[in-house]
Chain A
Amino acid sequence: MWKSQKLLELIKQDMLDKKWSLLGMGILIGLMGFYVISLISSLDFTQMQAYIESLPEALRAMLGGELDLANPYSLTNAYFYSFIWLYLGIFIIYITSSLIPQEVENHTIDLTLSKPITRIGYLTGKILFVYAFITAILAITTIFIALGMSTAPTFLEYGLHLDRLLAAFLLATLHLGTMASTSVFFSTVFLDTKKTTIASVVVMFIMFFIGDFSSLMNPILGETIQYASTWTYYNTAQVFGTGNFNSLPQNILILLAINIILSIASLVLFRRKDIPV
């Protein structure tokens, strides 16, 4: 009982520290989603489909295929959910990378770790905070998108599918979670904000290129290596764009497993690590 109270205390303090970032970023990205929806709220998709079909096949493939742009959900995905790593991923990495190293650099960690809390307890608190933070930002964002969808004529005409929105929310949480847990992992390796940020951003871009471009650059090899990227499992084009939920459970499980493995690796590493002066 005491352990959970201590965890809650750690999460609460981090949440209080980051409340303005959370609200600010959640509202900003939410408004951006709302704006994207308002842009496409009056589009004529029949005309747009005809135009896309007139484009050369190679160009269509590069744009993400007809599938991605044929309905308001696909278009919202192409403009919003496909770029969530850019809108929020970098911000999440920035927040996570400094979470533990900053306490080391500011020498505040000594005092915290001298209190009755294990290192595992401390790091678990940080990890849980990161997930709570991501979930809260995406929840705010999702509310704005839901509002946009429920007021946009194109969505109303096409049909309101909140299940797709919920699935996209879940996938985005886990997708951003993998970036955050990568950051937590590197922060336990380096205990240094700069090194952690650089390593996390590099890994993020590598994942992005493998996931989005490997199959375009080399169709045979790319088909195989794209599964090494977390981007492959963040398939909102299928889930949100077309309402195809077939691979959703599998993708959720894989992303969840990556999050858990990285978190456990961080805990194991941090448990043995010397805290530098």
Chain B
Amino acid sequence: MPQTPIIQTKNLTKYYGKHLGIRNVNLEIYPQEIFGFLGPNGAGKTTTIRILLDLIRPTSGTATIFGLDTQKEIERIHEKIAYIPGELEFNKNWTGRRTIKHMLNLYNHAAKDSLIENFAQTLKVDLNKKVKEFSKGNKQKIGVILALAPDVELLVLDEPTSGLDPLIKNEFYKLLSEKQIQTKCTIFLSSHILSEVEKVANRVAIINQGSIIQVATLNQLQQLALKNIEIEFPTPDQAKKNLNKIPEKTARNLTQQTNTLNLLCSREDLHSVLSWLKDTNFKDLNVRNPSLEDIFLEYYRVQPYEKNSNNKERGEKQNVEITETVRTHKTRYAR
């Protein structure tokens, strides 16, 4: 029997006056998933999250969490959610401890003091200091404690590691994974740092200019048509000479670093690139799946090109693609 999604949005659209926030966002996130939500600044990640939390109302479309309408039963939904906003701010005159206590007191089941102290120790943050004395990173740590301390079924994390140093970032993802294993909670993680999402997410959605352009598992995303090709030539001059001979429209993100050419190409174009290579005196060749970063950048590059096409048509086309992808994953996760 198929599982009911924890989060489900149907054609979620938000306009801020005439300005588009998001358009026809369809998402289905299943229990115990760690779902990455990727996109550049202004892509619509925070808008989607704020609609899910009922901080803003959609222009059209619906959103449900735990099967409950986000506009009608938000208190019941919030009882089972912990959230870190993208722009995390607290009352500057409060201490870290007072901030955490106050926020957690709004839950019916408050977290234990010892748990809060443990998190504070692990994250190395002094809860007796006033928020105004905190660095951005330390404020973020308070947010992390607020997300991890309550006993909830869903974590909604909007850029949770921004401002954290690499060590604490790793600690955070470790704590997050532990929390997920212990409580089997679902995690909705928005970020633009792909390498971080890559570490923990099962599936990701890529959003750009308000529309979801892909929903896929990490493996699928990495195998999506694109290949990263690294060609080494004997000298930089030869590399430069060959750079102009690459078959037209096959290479993307073409760059030269001394005697090495680096490019992305679709799987379909792989044959023409390889047949061109036959006639060159390349020294070494490396073909690999691109990093998520490369795929992500590629999506950004493609989107402005599509901007001039009929928006409505584009939205509908994407919607069909997304529905297809979601259907595939629904089956996958509904076991």
Query: When the two chains form their complex, are residues B78 and A111 in contact, meaning their CB atoms are under 8 A apart?
Result: no
Query: When the two chains form their complex, are residues B89 and A118 in contact, meaning their CB atoms are under 8 A apart?
Result: no
Query: When the two chains form their complex, are residues B108 and A116 in contact, meaning their CB atoms are under 8 A apart?
Result: yes
Residue of A nearest to B89 (CB): A107
The interface size of chain B toward A, counting residues with CB under 8 Å, comes to 31
B146 at the interface (CB under 8 A from A): yes
The interface size of chain A toward B, counting residues with CB under 8 Å, comes to 23
How many Å from the CB of B81 to the closest CB on chain A? 7
Bound Cα distance A106, B105 (Å): 21
A121 at the interface (CB under 8 A from B): yes
Query: When the two chains form their complex, are residues A6 and B89 in contact, meaning their CB atoms are under 8 A apart?
Result: no
Query: When the two chains form their complex, are residues A9 and B50 in contact, meaning their CB atoms are under 8 A apart?
Result: no
How many Å from the CB of A126 to the closest CB on chain B? 14
A157 at the interface (CB under 8 A from B): no
Taking A2-B108, A116-B79, A121-B75 as contacts, is the C-beta distance between A274 and B56 under 8 angstroms?
yes
Bound Cα distance A2, B79 (Å): 12
Query: When the two chains form their complex, are residues B108 and A274 in contact, meaning their CB atoms are under 8 A apart?
Result: no
B91 at the interface (CB under 8 A from A): yes
Query: When the two chains form their complex, are residues A17 and B91 in contact, meaning their CB atoms are under 8 A apart?
Result: yes
B297 at the interface (CB under 8 A from A): no
B residues near A244, Cβ cutoff 8 Å: none
Bound Cα distance A130, B143 (Å): 29
Query: When the two chains form their complex, are residues B56 and A275 in contact, meaning their CB atoms are under 8 A apart?
Result: yes
B249 at the interface (CB under 8 A from A): no
Query: When the two chains form their complex, are residues A118 and B75 in contact, meaning their CB atoms are under 8 A apart?
Result: yes
B residues near A110, Cβ cutoff 8 Å: 50, 53, 55, 83, 85, 87
B residues near A277, Cβ cutoff 8 Å: 46, 50, 87
Bound Cα distance A9, B105 (Å): 7
**Interface of B toward A, CB cutoff 8 Å:** 46, 50, 53-57, 74-76, 78-79, 81, 83, 85, 87-93, 102-103, 105-108, 143, 146, 156
Q: A110-B50, A113-B53, A115-B78 are in contact. List 16 more A-B contacts (CB 8 A).
A: A2-B108, A9-B106, A17-B93, A106-B91, A107-B85, A107-B88, A110-B83, A111-B90, A111-B146, A114-B83, A116-B75, A117-B78, A117-B106, A118-B74, A118-B75, A275-B56
